Structure formats: C-alpha cells, structure tokens
Structure 1
Amino acid sequence: MSFKHKVVWITGASSGIGKALAIELSKQEARLILSSRKKESLELVKAACKNPSQVKIITLDLEDFTSLQPKVDKAIACFGKVDILVNNGGISQRSLVKDTQISVDKRIMDINYLGTVALTKAILPHFIHNKNGQFVVTTSIVGKIGTPLRSSYAASKHALHGFFDSLRAEHFKDNITVTIVCPGFVNTNVSKNALTGNGTPQEKMDTATKNGIDPDYFAKLMVKVINKQKQEVNIAGAKEKLGVLTKRFFPKLLSKMIRKLSVT
C-alpha cells in the first residue's frame, strides 16, 4: 500500500509520536488532518511537513467526547474522505493507587478510552459506507502489563485493546482493519504531562522516558506497521518486549519482577 493521496487523520498530533508520524507520512505524500487541543503547536507541525498545502488542522478535545461528530464531519469535508484514523491522543499518569483521586481515574478514562471510542464510532459509518478504512491505535506496553504508578493509564490502555479487538472482528467483512501499536518508552513529553494523584501534571521527565526510542525513528517503524496493516505490534526496547513474553509464558515470574520496580 502506498500512502500517496491517502487521507490520514492523526489525533495527538501537536507533539511526540503524533508530530513525528505526521512529518514522516508527509514525506510519503499522504494528505493529512492534524488534531489536538493546541492550534499553535499544530500549525508548527504543519509547517514542518513536506507539503503543508496538503495538511489540514482540526482542533479537538478528546475529553469532550460528546461533541466529536461535528469534528468528523469537518474532517471528511477536508479532502472528501478519510482513509486512516490514527487514534494517538491521550494522557499518562504517575501516582500510586492509594494516592490517586477518583476524578483523575475518570479524566484519564474520558480522554484515553471514551474520547478515542467516541471518535471511532463517529467515523465508523464513513468507513462502512466506503467499504474501506483503517483504525490505528496507539496504546502502550502498559496496555498489556500493569506497572506501579500507572494504574489508571494502564486500565485505559487495556480497555482500548478489548474494544478494538471486538471492532476488528465485527467489521472484517466491511474491509475495515485495526492496527494496534504498543510503544515502550519513547523520548517524548508524555511523562512531563502525566497526571499525578491530585490531577496536576508531573512536570518532569522520567529517566526511562528520556532514554527511550527517538520519536522520529519510532515514526518510521510505525509507518511500516500501518502500511502492512499489522494487527498488533510492540515497538519497544528489548526489556519491554521481554516483559510481554514473560507475562505470556511465565506470569508469576513477571509479577515478582514488577513488584521490585521503584514506586517513588
């Protein structure tokens, strides 16, 4: 599959993985729709793309998940269709279960899960009508392995796996595909923006995140995965990939390993 003239809509496109993905896809002549809450940042990403005239901007807030249908209508109107929706927007967390207010759990689920599901449901009839479409979902290795300080984040990512596995099965006959991408640590601002127990941002970079995969390199790998329409792929370091395998074959051993992780 070539991305030339394909219309790709990316949420969370103002920074990190979304930004890098937009720039990489623009090199492959895709027509892009970029979304996040931050219009000024999206304009900078658009300017960095190879062909800015083929890039449109639609601001949206996934947390306001009851108002996304007009955004979908606007996105379809940009180029007359949408071929691929990359559900990349979201927010992380850094707090212990006992210290996390329920309002924080709710906000993370509203953004990461319900916002993504609402946007997906809003555009699904368009894909069904066209008998073609691809949902790409950025989840996380934590969507497979719950670790300390990320209970709400892990829950939201686990939920996405369940939802999109079901959607894939239901709409196979409509030529609609689902690609789930599970990143490990990627060097973005995700840990700086992560919510603490009272809902305020952590505002500091985790060491593991700082040492993570370069987002530009990650985007190159992700584009290949999207192009091949893979069902589910882990793009992560060796330790994270080993953790996934260990959970599958030696779950009790992984539990012991996770208990030793720092919770401070």
Structure 2
Amino acid sequence: MMTQALRFKNKVAIVTGAAQGIGEGVAIALAKEGAKVILADRSDLVDDVAKKLGKLKAKSLTVKVDLETYAGASKLISEAVKAFKKIDIIVNNVGGTIWAKPYENYDEDQIEAEIRRSLFPTLWCCRAVLPVMIKQQHGVVVNISSIATRSIHRIPYAAAKGGVNAMTASLAFEHAKDGIRFNAVATGGTEAPPRKIPRNKNKLSKQEEVWYQGIIDQTIDSSLMHRYGTIEEQVRAILFLASDESSYITGTVLPVGGGDLG
C-alpha cells in the first residue's frame, strides 16, 4: 500500500464547487495529502476555504468563475495551467437540486436551469481540461454524480446526473489511450451544514416542504443502511478515485449511498 498521507504529493488538483459542502471537504483533504489545489467557485465564500488551506501551509489558487458557461471553464483551466504548469486531477463537483417537486409541476425555465446547474459545468470542464491532459498524456477526472438518477421529485436533476454518468463512461472509452482516467462518484444523501448560499433563494411553501420531505424519506428508505452519509464518507471515495490507488479503474460510477445503487 502507498503511504496515504503522500498520495497527492506534487499533484495539481482542481476542485469545482469548492466553497462549501463536499467540494470544500475534498479540497481540504487533497491539501492535507500534499496536493496543490485550485479552488473554483462563483461565490466569495471560497476565500474562506483558501484561508483554511493557508493554515495547512498548502499551495492553492482561487479562481472565481461561473462554470455554467464554457468561458468560465476555459478561464479556470487557463489560470490553473498558468499558475502550476499542469493539471493532474480535476474533481467536477458543481451541481445540486434547485427545486424539489413532481415533474409535472416544473416549468420550462426551471427544467433548463436544473440542467445548466448539474450537467453543463461538468460538460464544460471536461471539454476545457482535455487538451491539457491529452498533451500531458496523463490525468484523472472524477465527476460527482448522484444516486438521484433513481429517485422522486427531482427529475431534471436526475436527467442531468444521468448525463454525467454517460459522459464519464464515454470519455473513459475515448481517452484511455491518452492515459486519462474518468470515473464518477454517485453520492447518496449526505449530512452537511445548512448551505450558506441556498440553491433556491425562495422560502419553500408548505406543499414544497412536503415534496422535499418526500426526497429525504425516499433516500433513507432506499439506503440499505437507512441513513444519510457524511461528507467525510463521500470525500474518502472521491480521493480514492483521484489517487493512483485506483490506477486500474476507469469508466466506472461508484455509488456511495449506503447500498442504494441509484
């Protein structure tokens, strides 16, 4: 076995959606294991994460971009290469359900917003980073998916994450020849502090609270362990796939949902 504390020594890693939640957890864990970390987010909250990495004496770079656009993804990759000359790892973590309700209650704009939020950042970042990793002839991409591909009250989000799974498998086929591995972690329900910036800024109606509770109940019921996981439990799986310990794994979606395979 490798010395775990040194798994990412001399590695350059990008983490998108790094300002809070799983993204923040991944960024801190990578830094603790020796990585130089690029923190990508569109929120100023990412500056607080950078301060935490500074206390660890880790080298980092903060890039504030909107990854729902290709221009934002391109800027992120350009800034990372400018600062560190290479990109060994990218963890594409941006995404998350905005509205929770039966599909017939979504309007057109909401459906498009869900897809932009939970599919396009991964599509754009994979496209933007590929030329760099092809030139290097190595790289690791870990896309954050979800077991919500089989769930209730979030069909557009499920469709977006199904797209993440499909592109992960297909990109692995295309680019194994270039020494690039693509995998995904399908996260299950995860206990996390309340979001500092909610995805949906509007207060939920009584009916929306019922629909959201339906997601929680279904998630717990579908898990063989009948509980939510922790951020740390998700981070461990993500770091495994980002590390050389998973060197013979590509094109795989790893469910981390207490037995719920999504």
Scaled by the length of structure 2, what TM-score is found?
Answer: 0.81
SS at match of 1:171: helix
1:186 maps to which of 187, 190, 208: 190
Cα distance in structure 2, aligned partners of 1:52 and 1:91: 31
**Aligned counterpart, 1:213:** 229
SS at match of 1:61: coil
2:255 maps to which of 231, 234, 252: 234
Residue 66 (structure 1) shift: 4.1
Summarize the Cα distance change of 1:120–1:237 in structure 2 as closer, same or farther, 3 Å threshold: same
**Aligned counterpart, 1:262:** none
In 1, are the aligned partners of 2:35 and 2:58 still within 8 Å (CA)? no
**Aligned ranges for residues 166-177 of structure 1 at < 5 Å?**
166-177=170-181
Residue 201 (structure 1) shift: 6.8
What's the % identity of the aligned pairs? 25
Amino acid of the residue matched to residue 161 of structure 1?
A: N
**Aligned ranges for residues 31-180 of structure 1 at < 5 Å?**
31-39=36-44, 41-49=45-53, 51-92=56-97, 93-143=99-149, 145=150, 147-180=151-184
Summarize the Cα distance change of 1:81–1:183 in structure 2 as closer, same or farther, 3 Å threshold: same
Cα distance in structure 1, aligned partners of 2:77 and 2:203: 29
Summarize the Cα distance change of 1:57–1:142 in structure 2 as closer, same or farther, 3 Å threshold: same
Scaled by the length of structure 1, what TM-score is found?
Answer: 0.80
Cα distance in structure 2, aligned partners of 1:10 and 1:201: 30
Cα distance in structure 2, aligned partners of 1:53 and 1:21: 14
* Alignment deviations for residues 143-202 of structure 1 (CA, whole Å, 9 cap, x no partner): 3x2x22110000000011111211110111000101110111111347x9455xxx8475
For structure 2, list consecutive stretches of 5 or more residues without a partner in the other structure. Answer: 221-226
Amino acid of the residue matched to residue 224 of structure 1?
A: F
Cα distance in structure 2, aligned partners of 1:86 and 1:72: 13
Amino acid of the residue matched to residue 10 of structure 1?
A: V
SS at match of 2:191: coil
Summarize the Cα distance change of 1:116–1:64 in structure 2 as closer, same or farther, 3 Å threshold: same
**Aligned counterpart, 1:223:** 239
Summarize the Cα distance change of 1:14–1:47 in structure 2 as closer, same or farther, 3 Å threshold: same
Residue 73 (structure 1) shift: 0.7
Residue 121 (structure 1) shift: 0.6
**Aligned ranges for residues 16-35 of structure 1 at < 5 Å?**
16-35=21-40
Residue 221 (structure 1) shift: 3.3
RMSD: 2.5
For structure 1, list consecutive stretches of 5 or more residues without a partner in the other structure. Answer: 245-264
Matched residues, number: 234
In 1, are the aligned partners of 2:34 and 2:58 still within 8 Å (CA)? no
